[in-house]
Structure 1
Amino acid sequence: MPRTSNPQPVLVRPSSPAFADLLPTNDLGEFPTATPWCQRWREKRHSFRHTSAGGFDPRHYTVEPLAVRTAKQFVLQHHYSGSFPSAKKTFGLFNIAEGEPRLSGVAVFGLSVSRAVLERALPDLEPAISALECSRFVLLDECPANSESWFLARTFDALLASDVRGVVSFADPVPRRTSTGKLVAVGHVGTIYQASNATYTGRATARTIKLLPDGTVLNDRSAQKVRKQEQGHEYVEAKLMSLGAPAPRAGCNPALWLRDALQAVGAVNLRHRGAHRYVFRLGKNQRERERITLGYPNLKPYPKGPDSSD
């Protein structure tokens, strides 16, 4: 895939003249917990906040349940993936400093593509009822440093109150670029989950993914929707047509159309070593949390850097 020089990050640095910290990587990967940078998003463009800049005041924020429709609109507008997963619980981070609540972040919890993802990680809990996957966690660039830990903790309080006892979340460590070389996904190691004391349980299954020319991924579930003409196939087809694929003809074989469409848009295969998997056990105290069985061993140390994009 063609590559160009890395785009420059948007930085908000402390005003102190003694400030000398630099971004620790030119490729803009998500940083280890020990580094002082927090990632933010707006209109699918990432930026960074330095923890020493401070500014977060919990009195200026509130976390509330959010309508799925509103969460979907926010995620599609700002998150680099350009997609919205199945959602069961959605929460909004609202800035109330100026009186009128302003939506500044969204957290989405739902059922994984496969029930086995939750069953294997949390074998004692019922998927979609007492165990959910955190599939999107997006904060706008207006949020001060350290907002995400507070937001995540408040969502966990709300989940526990509704009898959710476990959360699984994945961090994709593979940087992704468009066909012109623009970096759209920096490669995440799960910094926010590490800072929140999640249990790291290794990587998900390695696989080959279909990378589209805009830097997004056509996952297996989306491809299956097209092949079997299941609910949601129109969205996937429209996405491919927007990238240059021909419209499907009446009566054509959907599987053959998908094959030809991927070839027409220039989709490429990318070997993926597997996303990093984190597990949270929820409870009122440590004893309650430790009673919840983990289906995978607790691994140390946490991963510290994104995978190579080569």
Structure 2
Amino acid sequence: MIKRLKKYTHYERQKGVEKMLNKMDEKIKLWALRANACDNFKNNSVFDVLFGDFYTNALGDELKRLDECEKNGKIATNETLEKNLKYLSLVMGLNDDEKKILEFLICLNSISVLNDIFKDCIVNSFSCFSKIAMILALSEESVKVALSYQSKLVKSGIIKLYKDCSNFDLAEAFDFGFEYFAFIMFENSRLEDMTNENIRQIESSEIKTTTNVDEILALIAKKPNANILLKNKEICKQVANRLESRLYELVYSSNRFYRRLDAFFAANALLDSKNSVLMIDEIDDIFNEKTPKALIKRILSENEVLTFWLSDECEFSKYFDMVVG
């Protein structure tokens, strides 16, 4: 793990101070200066290293300059991160504010200099929204909506909110639902990498179709996001082939229930619903007597992606759009 984290570090340590190596230095300075305009960074050694040569009045002038650069699209960013953010924004339908918030949280989590700058920025579950709004020059209401429990970012499982109302560092106020997600976003990543291999693409099948496949295709024509319960994995592959769609499998996890639910909601947020089919095997850990019926109904009503649920027997079969024996 140490080697992996070292590989993803975007700064090298030099004389006890982090030296920026990527092209995001001006964006990081802009975020820090906005926070400094309202908060005291006098005892923050990293902030002093970045701006030690500036007089107090000059900091205000530098903030204005960087603000203007951002408005004119002249603030550089990491090209790979920008590419991956565009992909997520497209498939999840994120607006510009949501994209900016996700970018900031990714950078805060993965870039050590930025993390060090804001380590003394103490917030709670109420003030963190206003802090982020200030740093990104957004409205507080916009940030609250983007990070609410019903938002696309949170419902997808990508961003995790801490429920504790006590004070903590801004960098600790949020986490990601997938290990190494923030670091991987700086790479040329596949979907499997972004979700820590909880979702993987598999090959469809060109086997001759059966009557069941034709019936399923007729249902899908009426309801593209149908939930279909069946036993035969090959039928899923045949349907994907007939639809000319990519087939993804939700990987079984020994951690079971919550890990797989997170992956399910993420798949529905990240996959292109028009060209993807999701297959989920070993579903007894999700659909059993301990699962609240309200949650079952939510799972089977809020999905965006056509989903095949594989099981020899499921007591909740009445909730599915089709059951193939």
Using the size of structure 1 for normalisation, the TM-score is 0.29
Compare the two structures and name the one with the higher helix fraction.
2
Compare the two structures and name the one with the higher strand fraction.
1
Q: Which has the larger radius of gyration?
A: 2
